[in-house]
């Protein structure tokens, strides 16, 4: 990443300009920087952000200047059949995945040419312009670093548990990969009453964090991992989540669950990377495979809920935050992520 000046046009009809206060550094940004996913260039990175509304365009209702907001990266249309069915994560009119506004343009430019906010957020910038519906108001007492993480890792991780897998109290669970997303899954599992909650990572530092976030057992990823999981669950977990995006750990998910179990794909692999599964085995054992997009959640419903849980002391999002950094330290944060150290680093503006 290079730090440079960008020009930001004022918000158009139905849009808001947000003065960013915090942005998380997420594994999805790394996929882009490492060339694993293609996006239009030049790109203003960051998609896990929170800030304060500074300007509103014409026709904006429901939010106002001064509101504290968390930004949404899956910017649903709220009109298609999936949005109307309560499934905004499957919106058929989505443009944010192309890094543009609903009208196909952006409000950002570098030297007169369009610049593209990553998944239409671009939170690693002092200001962002988004559709008003992608700025979800949260209580002003919520700290901005925590608020930022609600916008991706927390919404994804808790949603994976509550919406995608619908975990119920007493179910056993495995979480493979304990970065910001995996740790959020662990927090969700604790809230849902899962037991045991087995956290797996190749970095012992992450396992300590997983235990702090609510895991009951921590297992270092090595050759003996499958046996440990089998022993701890008595033959396989009810549900297993992959939160790395590694084709090998994704392919190994079915071996972690019992007959009738569920496997949940949360980590996203590099593009054009098909992963083979033994479907006959999945059929015989009655395994359900679930793909999680943005926690299969509803941001306008869920962000305020998660904010309330944090403020009530029931969702220890601070556990995820390794360091607060300035924008010029962002490349060091990605280096730490590639090395597997640090959970979430959060840029404060």
Ligand X SMILES: NC(=O)c1ccc[n+]([C@@H]2O[C@H](COP(=O)([O-])OP(=O)(O)OC[C@H]3O[C@@H](n4cnc5c(N)ncnc54)[C@H](O)[C@@H]3O)[C@@H](O)[C@H]2O)c1
Note the residues at the interface with Zn ion (CB under 5 A): 26, 28, 76-77, 80, 83, 91, 93, 152
Distance CA 165, CA 124 (A): 31
Phi, psi (rounded to 5 degrees) for 265: -90, 110
Regarding 27 and contact with ligand X (CB under 6 A), the answer is yes
Q: Pairing mode, if any, of strands 288-291 and 257-265?
A: parallel
Q: Which stretch binds ligand X (CB under 6 A): 51-59, 79-87, 121-129, 171-179?
A: 171-179
Partner from ligand X, Zn ion, none contacting 221, C-beta within 5 to 8 A by type: ligand X
CB 194 within 8 Å of CB 162: no
- Helix and strand numbers (H, E) in the chain are 11, 17
Regarding 181 and contact with ligand X (CB under 6 A), the answer is yes
Regarding 182 and contact with ligand X (CB under 6 A), the answer is yes
Least separation in angstroms between CB 184 and Zn ion? 10
Least separation in angstroms between CB 328 and ligand X? 21
CA neighbor of 127 nearest in space, from 29, 16, 1: 16
Partner from Zn ion, ligand X, none contacting 292, C-beta within 5 to 8 A by type: ligand X
* Size, binding site for ligand X by CB under 6 A: 31
* Six token digits for residue 328: 């010029």
Considering only residues 255-284, where is the footprint of ligand X by CB under 6 A? Answer: 266-268
The only residue of 28, 106, 133, 216 in contact with ligand X, by rule CB under 6 A: 28
Regarding 306 and contact with ligand X (CB under 6 A), the answer is no
Least separation in angstroms between CB 94 and Zn ion? 7
Regarding 179 and contact with ligand X (CB under 6 A), the answer is yes
Least separation in angstroms between CB 305 and ligand X? 18
- CA-derived radius of gyration, the chain: 20
**Residue whose CB is less far from ligand X, 238 or 342:** 342
What order of strands is seen across the sheet that includes strand 257-265?
A: 217-220, 197-201, 173-176, 237-242, 257-265, 288-291
CA neighbor of 246 nearest in space, from 54, 6, 1, 27: 27
CA neighbor of 28 nearest in space, from 48, 44, 3: 48
Regarding 151 and contact with ligand X (CB under 6 A), the answer is no
The only residue of 106, 123, 163, 249 in contact with ligand X, by rule CB under 6 A: 249
Distance CA 31, CA 35 (A): 6
Residue 231's contacts (CB-CB under 8 Å, 6 or more residues apart) are none
Considering only residues 105-144, where is the footprint of ligand X by CB under 6 A? Answer: none
Partner from ligand X, Zn ion, none contacting 266, C-beta within 5 to 8 A by type: ligand X
Least separation in angstroms between CB 106 and ligand X? 22
Partner from ligand X, Zn ion, none contacting 77, C-beta within 5 to 8 A by type: Zn ion
* Six token digits for residue 236: 């396989």
Distance CA 256, CA 278 (A): 14
225 membership: H or E segment, kind and range? helix 225-233
**Residue whose CB is less far from ligand X, 88 or 179:** 179
**Residue numbers of the site for ligand X (CB under 6 A)?**
26-28, 31, 152, 156, 177-182, 200-203, 206, 221, 243-246, 249, 266-268, 292-294, 337, 340
């Amino acid at each position: 990443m290079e730090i440079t000046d960008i020009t930001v046009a004022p918000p158009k009809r139905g849009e808001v300009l947000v003065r960013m206060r915090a942005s998380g550094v997420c594994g999805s940004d790394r996929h882009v920087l490492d060339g694993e996913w293609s996006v239009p260039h030049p790109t203003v990175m960051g998609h896990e952000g929170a800030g304060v509304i500074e300007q509103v365009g014409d026709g904006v209702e429901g939010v106002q200047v001064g509101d504290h907001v968390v930004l949404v990266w899956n910017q649903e249309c709220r009109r298609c059949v999936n949005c109307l069915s309560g499934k905004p994560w499957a919106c058929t009119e989505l443009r944010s995945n192309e890094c543009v506004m609903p009208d196909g343009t952006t409000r950002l430019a570098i030297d007169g040419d369009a610049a593209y906010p990553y998944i239409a957020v671009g939170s690693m910038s002092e200001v962002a312009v988004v559709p008003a519906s992608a700025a979800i108001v949260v209580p002003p007492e919520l700290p901005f670093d925590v608020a930022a993480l609600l916008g991706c890792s927390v919404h994804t991780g808790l949603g994976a548990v509550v919406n995608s897998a619908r975990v119920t109290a007493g179910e056993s669970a495995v979480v493979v990969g304990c970065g910001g997303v995996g740790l959020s899954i662990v927090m969700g599992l604790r809230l849902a009453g899962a037991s045991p909650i087995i956290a797996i990572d190749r970095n012992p530092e992450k396992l300590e964090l997983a235990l702090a976030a609510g895991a009951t057992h921590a297992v270092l990823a090595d050759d003996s991992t499958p046996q440990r999981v089998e022993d701890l669950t008595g033959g396989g977990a009810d549900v297993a989540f992959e939160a790395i995006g590694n084709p090998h750990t994704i392919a190994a998910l079915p071996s972690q669950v019992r007959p009738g179990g569920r496997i949940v794909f949360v980590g996203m692999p590099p593009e054009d990377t098909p992963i083979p599964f033994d479907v006959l085995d999945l059929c015989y054992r009655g395994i359900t495979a679930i793909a999680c997009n943005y926690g299969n959640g509803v941001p306008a419903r869920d962000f305020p809920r998660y904010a309330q849980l944090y403020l009530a002391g029931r969702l220890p999002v601070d556990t995820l935050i390794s360091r607060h950094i300035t924008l010029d330290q962002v490349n060091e944060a990605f280096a730490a992520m590639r090395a597997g150290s640090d959970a979430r680093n959060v840029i404060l503006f």
